[in-house]
Protein backbone atom coordinates (compact mmCIF):
# COMPACT_ATOMS: atom_id res chain seq x y z
CA UNK A 1 0.00 0.00 0.00
CA UNK A 2 1.41 3.39 -1.00
CA UNK A 3 2.18 6.00 1.65
CA UNK A 4 -0.26 8.82 2.30
CA UNK A 5 0.35 11.85 0.06
CA UNK A 6 1.90 14.03 2.78
CA UNK A 7 3.66 11.25 4.69
CA UNK A 8 6.96 12.45 6.10
CA UNK A 9 5.95 16.08 6.48
CA UNK A 10 6.08 17.40 10.04
CA UNK A 11 3.62 20.07 11.14
CA UNK A 12 3.57 21.96 14.43
CA UNK A 13 0.35 23.73 15.39
CA UNK A 14 -0.08 26.63 17.78
CA UNK A 15 -3.83 26.76 17.32
CA UNK A 16 -7.22 26.84 19.01
CA UNK A 17 -10.92 26.91 18.14
CA UNK A 18 -11.60 26.10 14.45
CA UNK A 19 -9.63 27.96 11.76
CA UNK A 20 -6.13 26.81 12.67
CA UNK A 21 -7.12 23.28 13.71
CA UNK A 22 -9.12 22.91 10.46
CA UNK A 23 -6.00 23.62 8.39
CA UNK A 24 -4.01 21.10 10.40
CA UNK A 25 -6.85 18.58 10.15
CA UNK A 26 -6.65 18.57 6.36
CA UNK A 27 -2.88 18.05 6.40
CA UNK A 28 -3.18 15.33 9.05
CA UNK A 29 -5.83 13.43 7.11
CA UNK A 30 -3.50 13.53 4.10
CA UNK A 31 -0.75 11.86 6.11
CA UNK A 32 1.31 14.69 7.60
CA UNK A 33 2.62 14.22 11.14
CA UNK A 34 0.84 16.98 13.05
CA UNK A 35 1.69 17.94 16.62
CA UNK A 36 -0.39 20.49 18.49
CA UNK A 37 1.28 22.60 21.14
CA UNK A 38 -1.30 23.13 23.87
CA UNK A 39 -1.00 25.01 27.17
CA UNK A 40 -0.45 22.95 30.29
CA UNK A 41 -3.77 21.33 31.18
CA UNK A 42 -4.90 21.34 27.56
CA UNK A 43 -6.43 23.67 25.01
CA UNK A 44 -9.68 25.11 26.42
CA UNK A 45 -11.40 24.12 23.18
CA UNK A 46 -11.36 20.55 24.55
CA UNK A 47 -13.94 21.55 27.15
CA UNK A 48 -16.31 23.83 25.28
CA UNK A 49 -20.02 23.13 25.62
CA UNK A 50 -23.02 24.09 23.52
CA UNK A 51 -22.26 24.85 19.88
CA UNK A 52 -18.52 24.52 20.56
CA UNK A 53 -18.67 20.95 21.88
CA UNK A 54 -17.85 19.49 18.46
CA UNK A 55 -14.87 21.69 17.64
CA UNK A 56 -12.15 19.61 19.24
CA UNK A 57 -13.16 16.12 18.02
CA UNK A 58 -13.95 17.32 14.49
CA UNK A 59 -10.79 19.28 13.82
CA UNK A 60 -8.12 17.53 15.87
CA UNK A 61 -8.21 13.94 14.67
CA UNK A 62 -5.01 12.31 13.39
CA UNK A 63 -2.90 14.63 15.56
CA UNK A 64 -0.68 14.36 18.58
CA UNK A 65 -0.49 17.00 21.31
CA UNK A 66 2.18 18.25 23.67
CA UNK A 67 1.42 20.43 26.65
CA UNK A 68 3.93 23.23 27.13
CA UNK A 69 4.11 26.38 29.22
CA UNK A 70 5.38 28.82 26.61
CA UNK A 71 5.97 31.44 29.32
CA UNK A 72 8.67 29.25 30.86
CA UNK A 73 12.17 28.99 29.42
CA UNK A 74 11.92 25.19 29.27
CA UNK A 75 8.55 25.17 27.51
CA UNK A 76 9.61 27.79 24.99
CA UNK A 77 12.84 25.95 24.27
CA UNK A 78 10.92 22.73 23.62
CA UNK A 79 8.52 24.55 21.30
CA UNK A 80 11.44 25.94 19.31
CA UNK A 81 13.02 22.48 19.12
CA UNK A 82 9.81 21.10 17.65
CA UNK A 83 9.62 23.88 15.08
CA UNK A 84 13.27 23.51 14.08
CA UNK A 85 12.52 19.89 13.12
CA UNK A 86 9.29 20.76 11.33
CA UNK A 87 8.35 21.54 7.74
CA UNK A 88 5.26 23.60 8.55
CA UNK A 89 4.03 25.77 11.40
CA UNK A 90 0.36 26.76 11.68
CA UNK A 91 -0.88 29.38 14.13
CA UNK A 92 -4.12 31.29 14.59
CA UNK A 93 -3.69 33.30 17.78
CA UNK A 94 -4.19 37.05 18.06
CA UNK A 95 -1.80 39.20 15.99
CA UNK A 96 1.59 39.41 17.65
CA UNK A 97 0.94 36.69 20.27
CA UNK A 98 3.64 34.33 18.98
CA UNK A 99 5.93 37.19 17.98
CA UNK A 100 6.14 38.32 21.60
CA UNK A 101 7.34 34.85 22.58
CA UNK A 102 10.11 34.84 20.00
CA UNK A 103 8.18 32.43 17.80
CA UNK A 104 7.91 34.87 14.92
CA UNK A 105 8.68 33.81 11.36
CA UNK A 106 11.96 35.68 11.02
CA UNK A 107 13.45 34.18 14.19
CA UNK A 108 12.34 30.64 13.40
CA UNK A 109 13.29 30.82 9.71
CA UNK A 110 16.82 31.83 10.67
CA UNK A 111 17.17 28.46 12.40
CA UNK A 112 15.01 26.52 9.90
CA UNK A 113 15.19 28.18 6.44
CA UNK A 114 12.86 25.60 4.91
CA UNK A 115 10.04 26.37 7.36
CA UNK A 116 6.63 27.20 5.90
CA UNK A 117 4.95 29.46 8.43
CA UNK A 118 1.17 29.69 8.01
CA UNK A 119 -0.55 32.37 10.04
CA UNK A 120 -4.35 32.44 10.04
CA UNK A 121 -5.94 35.67 11.21
CA UNK A 122 -9.06 37.77 11.08
CA UNK A 123 -7.72 40.13 8.43
CA UNK A 124 -4.82 40.26 6.01
CA UNK A 125 -2.41 43.23 6.36
CA UNK A 126 -4.22 46.55 6.16
CA UNK A 127 -6.17 48.96 8.34
CA UNK A 128 -8.14 46.18 10.06
CA UNK A 129 -5.29 43.74 10.68
CA UNK A 130 -5.05 44.23 14.45
CA UNK A 131 -8.77 43.82 15.07
CA UNK A 132 -10.06 40.67 16.72
CA UNK A 133 -12.24 38.68 14.36
CA UNK A 134 -14.45 35.64 14.72
CA UNK A 135 -16.42 33.71 12.13
CA UNK A 136 -19.42 35.90 13.02
CA UNK A 137 -17.48 39.12 12.63
CA UNK A 138 -16.27 38.13 9.18
CA UNK A 139 -19.71 37.02 8.05
CA UNK A 140 -21.24 40.31 9.18
CA UNK A 141 -18.52 42.51 7.68
CA UNK A 142 -18.08 40.47 4.52
CA UNK A 143 -21.70 40.48 3.38
CA UNK A 144 -22.44 36.80 3.95
CA UNK A 145 -24.81 37.35 6.88
CA UNK A 146 -26.66 39.99 4.86
CA UNK A 147 -27.09 37.55 1.97
CA UNK A 148 -28.17 34.65 4.21
CA UNK A 149 -30.94 36.25 6.24
CA UNK A 150 -34.15 37.91 5.12
CA UNK A 151 -33.98 41.65 4.36
CA UNK A 152 -33.05 43.60 7.46
CA UNK A 153 -32.26 40.45 9.46
CA UNK A 154 -28.65 39.39 8.85
CA UNK A 155 -28.12 35.76 9.75
CA UNK A 156 -24.94 33.83 10.44
CA UNK A 157 -24.59 30.67 8.37
CA UNK A 158 -25.42 27.53 10.35
CA UNK A 159 -21.86 26.23 10.65
CA UNK A 160 -18.35 27.67 11.05
CA UNK A 161 -18.14 28.05 7.30
CA UNK A 162 -15.62 30.91 7.26
CA UNK A 163 -13.33 29.36 9.88
CA UNK A 164 -13.25 26.08 7.97
CA UNK A 165 -12.92 27.66 4.51
CA UNK A 166 -10.27 30.07 5.76
CA UNK A 167 -8.33 27.08 7.07
CA UNK A 168 -8.63 25.46 3.64
CA UNK A 169 -7.19 28.57 2.00
CA UNK A 170 -4.33 28.27 4.47
CA UNK A 171 -3.78 24.71 3.24
CA UNK A 172 -3.80 25.91 -0.38
CA UNK A 173 -1.09 28.40 0.54
CA UNK A 174 0.90 25.73 2.37
CA UNK A 175 0.79 23.34 -0.58
CA UNK A 176 1.80 26.13 -2.97
CA UNK A 177 4.71 27.02 -0.68
CA UNK A 178 5.76 23.37 -0.50
CA UNK A 179 5.89 23.19 -4.30
CA UNK A 180 7.97 26.35 -4.41
CA UNK A 181 10.29 24.93 -1.74
CA UNK A 182 10.95 21.98 -4.05
CA UNK A 183 12.50 24.47 -6.46
CA UNK A 184 14.19 26.90 -4.08
CA UNK A 185 14.85 24.93 -0.92
CA UNK A 186 13.42 27.79 1.11
CA UNK A 187 10.21 28.17 3.04
CA UNK A 188 8.12 31.30 3.42
CA UNK A 189 5.44 32.97 5.49
CA UNK A 190 1.90 32.71 4.19
CA UNK A 191 -1.29 34.26 5.52
CA UNK A 192 -4.99 33.60 5.18
CA UNK A 193 -7.79 35.48 6.89
CA UNK A 194 -11.46 35.28 7.77
CA UNK A 195 -12.56 38.60 6.31
CA UNK A 196 -10.91 38.13 2.94
CA UNK A 197 -12.21 34.55 2.78
CA UNK A 198 -15.75 35.86 3.24
CA UNK A 199 -15.27 38.50 0.57
CA UNK A 200 -14.05 35.83 -1.86
CA UNK A 201 -17.13 33.74 -1.17
CA UNK A 202 -19.54 36.62 -1.82
CA UNK A 203 -17.59 37.63 -4.92
CA UNK A 204 -20.32 36.17 -7.12
CA UNK A 205 -22.73 38.74 -5.70
CA UNK A 206 -20.23 41.54 -6.24
CA UNK A 207 -19.84 40.34 -9.82
CA UNK A 208 -23.63 40.27 -10.22
CA UNK A 209 -23.74 43.97 -9.32
CA UNK A 210 -20.92 44.69 -11.76
CA UNK A 211 -22.62 42.77 -14.57
CA UNK A 212 -26.24 43.83 -14.08
CA UNK A 213 -25.96 47.15 -12.28
CA UNK A 214 -28.37 45.77 -9.68
CA UNK A 215 -27.32 44.88 -6.15
CA UNK A 216 -27.81 41.25 -5.17
CA UNK A 217 -30.76 40.70 -2.84
CA UNK A 218 -30.55 38.50 0.28
CA UNK A 219 -31.19 34.87 -0.60
CA UNK A 220 -34.69 34.69 0.95
CA UNK A 221 -35.74 37.68 -1.20
CA UNK A 222 -33.72 37.00 -4.33
CA UNK A 223 -35.05 36.70 -7.83
CA UNK A 224 -34.05 33.14 -8.61
CA UNK A 225 -32.34 32.25 -11.85
CA UNK A 226 -34.93 29.46 -12.25
CA UNK A 227 -38.68 29.30 -11.85
CA UNK A 228 -38.68 26.11 -9.79
CA UNK A 229 -35.82 26.19 -7.30
CA UNK A 230 -37.41 26.00 -3.88
CA UNK A 231 -38.23 24.04 -0.77
CA UNK A 232 -41.72 22.62 -1.11
CA UNK A 233 -44.09 21.40 1.59
CA UNK A 234 -45.45 17.88 1.13
CA UNK A 235 -47.92 15.72 3.05
CA UNK A 236 -45.17 14.99 5.56
CA UNK A 237 -41.60 16.32 5.21
CA UNK A 238 -40.35 19.21 3.02
CA UNK A 239 -38.23 18.61 -0.07
CA UNK A 240 -36.08 20.80 -2.32
CA UNK A 241 -36.59 20.54 -6.09
CA UNK A 242 -34.86 22.47 -8.86
CA UNK A 243 -35.60 22.65 -12.57
CA UNK A 244 -32.51 24.31 -14.03
CA UNK A 245 -32.62 23.68 -17.80
CA UNK A 246 -35.21 23.66 -20.56
CA UNK A 247 -34.66 19.94 -21.10
CA UNK A 248 -35.31 19.27 -17.41
CA UNK A 249 -38.50 21.33 -17.60
CA UNK A 250 -39.78 18.97 -20.27
CA UNK A 251 -38.80 15.97 -18.17
CA UNK A 252 -40.31 17.46 -15.00
CA UNK A 253 -43.65 18.08 -16.73
CA UNK A 254 -43.67 14.52 -18.10
CA UNK A 255 -42.79 12.91 -14.74
CA UNK A 256 -45.60 14.68 -12.91
CA UNK A 257 -48.20 14.75 -15.67
CA UNK A 258 -48.15 18.53 -16.04
CA UNK A 259 -49.53 18.42 -19.54
CA UNK A 260 -51.18 21.82 -19.32
CA UNK A 261 -47.94 23.57 -18.31
CA UNK A 262 -45.95 21.77 -21.00
CA UNK A 263 -48.55 22.69 -23.62
CA UNK A 264 -47.99 26.38 -22.86
CA UNK A 265 -45.23 27.23 -25.33
CA UNK A 266 -44.59 30.55 -23.58
CA UNK A 267 -43.01 28.52 -20.76
CA UNK A 268 -40.56 26.52 -22.87
CA UNK A 269 -37.60 28.85 -22.17
CA UNK A 270 -36.05 29.39 -18.75
CA UNK A 271 -36.18 33.18 -18.58
CA UNK A 272 -39.85 33.16 -19.58
CA UNK A 273 -40.58 30.66 -16.82
CA UNK A 274 -38.81 32.91 -14.30
CA UNK A 275 -41.06 35.78 -15.35
CA UNK A 276 -44.08 33.48 -14.87
CA UNK A 277 -43.09 32.14 -11.43
CA UNK A 278 -46.20 33.51 -9.78
CA UNK A 279 -48.31 31.56 -12.26
CA UNK A 280 -46.32 28.31 -12.16
CA UNK A 281 -45.53 27.89 -8.47
CA UNK A 282 -49.10 27.67 -7.07
CA UNK A 283 -49.71 24.67 -9.34
CA UNK A 284 -46.48 22.98 -8.25
CA UNK A 285 -47.03 23.69 -4.55
CA UNK A 286 -50.57 22.31 -4.67
CA UNK A 287 -49.39 19.16 -6.47
CA UNK A 288 -46.53 18.48 -4.06
CA UNK A 289 -48.81 19.18 -1.11
CA UNK A 290 -50.83 16.10 -2.06
CA UNK A 291 -47.76 13.83 -2.20
CA UNK A 292 -45.34 12.49 0.40
CA UNK A 293 -41.67 13.38 0.26
CA UNK A 294 -40.80 9.74 -0.46
CA UNK A 295 -43.19 9.68 -3.42
CA UNK A 296 -41.66 12.82 -4.91
CA UNK A 297 -38.09 11.62 -4.41
CA UNK A 298 -38.85 8.20 -5.84
CA UNK A 299 -40.26 9.80 -8.98
CA UNK A 300 -37.25 12.12 -9.33
CA UNK A 301 -34.57 9.47 -8.62
CA UNK A 302 -32.49 8.89 -11.73
CA UNK A 303 -34.18 11.68 -13.69
CA UNK A 304 -31.30 14.14 -13.62
CA UNK A 305 -33.45 16.68 -11.80
CA UNK A 306 -31.86 18.15 -8.65
CA UNK A 307 -33.72 17.25 -5.46
CA UNK A 308 -32.93 16.86 -1.79
CA UNK A 309 -34.54 16.02 1.52
CA UNK A 310 -34.08 18.68 4.20
CA UNK A 311 -31.69 16.87 6.53
CA UNK A 312 -30.54 17.75 10.02
CA UNK A 313 -26.88 17.18 10.95
CA UNK A 314 -27.84 14.23 13.18
CA UNK A 315 -29.61 12.58 10.23
CA UNK A 316 -26.27 12.23 8.43
CA UNK A 317 -25.07 9.51 10.81
CA UNK A 318 -27.59 7.23 9.07
CA UNK A 319 -27.31 8.55 5.51
CA UNK A 320 -27.07 5.47 3.25
CA UNK A 321 -24.71 7.11 0.77
CA UNK A 322 -22.28 8.27 3.47
CA UNK A 323 -22.34 4.85 5.11
CA UNK A 324 -21.85 2.94 1.86
CA UNK A 325 -19.07 5.19 0.55
CA UNK A 326 -16.94 5.23 3.69
CA UNK A 327 -17.35 8.97 4.14
CA UNK A 328 -17.79 8.69 7.91
CA UNK A 329 -14.73 7.55 9.83
CA UNK A 330 -14.86 5.69 13.13
CA UNK A 331 -13.59 7.91 15.93
CA UNK A 332 -13.07 7.11 19.60
CA UNK A 333 -13.67 10.34 21.48
CA UNK A 334 -11.53 11.51 24.41
CA UNK A 335 -14.15 10.16 26.83
CA UNK A 336 -13.94 6.70 25.21
CA UNK A 337 -17.25 6.86 23.38
CA UNK A 338 -17.38 5.82 19.73
CA UNK A 339 -18.82 7.91 16.93
CA UNK A 340 -18.42 8.40 13.18
CA UNK A 341 -17.24 11.76 11.85
CA UNK A 342 -16.81 13.08 8.30
CA UNK A 343 -13.53 12.48 6.51
CA UNK A 344 -12.11 14.78 3.85
CA UNK A 345 -14.65 15.19 1.03
CA UNK A 346 -12.42 13.79 -1.70
CA UNK A 347 -10.81 10.60 -2.95
CA UNK A 348 -7.20 10.03 -3.94
CA UNK A 349 -6.66 7.16 -6.34
CA UNK A 350 -10.13 5.96 -5.44
CA UNK A 351 -9.55 6.00 -1.68
CA UNK A 352 -10.81 8.30 1.07
CA UNK A 353 -7.85 9.83 2.97
CA UNK A 354 -7.74 9.63 6.75
CA UNK A 355 -9.49 6.83 8.54
CA UNK A 356 -10.41 5.81 12.05
CA UNK A 357 -8.80 7.59 14.97
CA UNK A 358 -8.56 7.11 18.72
CA UNK A 359 -7.96 10.29 20.71
CA UNK A 360 -5.21 10.05 23.28
CA UNK A 361 -5.69 11.11 26.86
CA UNK A 362 -4.49 14.66 27.37
CA UNK A 363 -1.59 14.50 24.95
CA UNK A 364 -0.05 11.22 26.10
CA UNK A 365 1.28 10.24 22.63
CA UNK A 366 2.83 13.62 21.99
CA UNK A 367 4.49 13.74 25.39
CA UNK A 368 5.88 10.24 24.85
CA UNK A 369 7.54 11.50 21.66
CA UNK A 370 9.04 14.47 23.54
CA UNK A 371 10.40 12.15 26.22
CA UNK A 372 11.88 9.87 23.58
CA UNK A 373 13.56 12.77 21.78
CA UNK A 374 15.03 14.01 25.05
CA UNK A 375 16.34 10.57 25.96
CA UNK A 376 13.73 9.80 28.56
CA UNK A 377 11.76 6.62 29.07
pLDDT at 2: 65
Please provide the distance, in angstroms rounded to a whole number, between the alpha carbons at the two ends of the chain: 32
Question: Which is more confident, 114 or 365?
Answer: 114
- Indicate if the pLDDT at residue 256 is higher than 70: yes
Residues 263-269 have a mean pLDDT of 97
- Indicate if the pLDDT at residue 374 is higher than 60: no
For domain 223-310, give the fold. Answer: formyl-coa transferase, domain 3 (3.30.1540)
- Indicate if the pLDDT at residue 264 is higher than 70: yes
Do residues 11 and 32 touch, judged by C-beta distance below 8 A? yes
User: What is the average pLDDT score of the chain?
Assistant: 94
Other beta carbons within 10 angstroms of residue 55's beta carbon come to: 20
Among 88-102, 160-174, 180-194, 349-363, where is mean pLDDT lowest?
349-363
pLDDT at 364: 56
Q: What number of H helices and E strands is found in the chain?
A: 16, 12
Tell me, rounded to whole angstroms, the distance of Cα 47 from its chain centroid.
Answer: 21
Classify the C-alpha dihedral 86-87-93-98 as positive or negative: positive
Q: What is the pLDDT of residues 282-301, one digit of tens each?
A: 999 999 999 999 999 999 99
- Indicate if the pLDDT at residue 70 is higher than 50: yes
Other beta carbons within 10 angstroms of residue 38's beta carbon come to: 23
pTM to 2 decimal places:
0.91
3-state SS of 20-54 is HHHHHHHHHHCCCEEEEEECCCCCHHHHCCHHHCC
pLDDT at 92: 97
Residues 150-156 have a mean pLDDT of 95
Reported confidence tier of residue 376, pLDDT bands at 50, 70, 90: very low
pLDDT at 262: 97
DSSP letter for each residue of 307-321: EEE---GGGGGG-HH
Residues 92-113 have a mean pLDDT of 96
Does CATH number 3.40.50.10540 belong to domain 10-201+320-373? Answer: yes
Q: What is the pLDDT of residues 207-238, one digit of tens each?
A: 999 999 999 999 988 888 899 999 999 999 99
Percentage of the residues of the chain whose pLDDT score is greater than 70: 95
- Indicate if the pLDDT at residue 203 is higher than 70: yes
Sequence spans of domains, the chain: 10-201+320-373, 223-310
Percentage of the residues of the chain whose pLDDT score is greater than 90: 91
The answer to whether domain 10-201+320-373 and domain 223-310 are alike in fold is no
Amino acid sequence: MSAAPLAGLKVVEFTHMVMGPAAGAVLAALGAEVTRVEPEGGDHTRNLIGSGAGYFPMYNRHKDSVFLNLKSAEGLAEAKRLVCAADILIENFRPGALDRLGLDYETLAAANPGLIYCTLKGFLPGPYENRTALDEVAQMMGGLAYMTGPPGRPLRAGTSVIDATGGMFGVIGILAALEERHRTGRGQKIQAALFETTVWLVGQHMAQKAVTGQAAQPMPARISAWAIYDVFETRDEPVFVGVVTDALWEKFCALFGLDELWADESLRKNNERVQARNRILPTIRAMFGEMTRAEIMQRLEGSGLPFAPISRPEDLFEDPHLLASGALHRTILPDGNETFLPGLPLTLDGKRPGGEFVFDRLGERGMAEVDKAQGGA
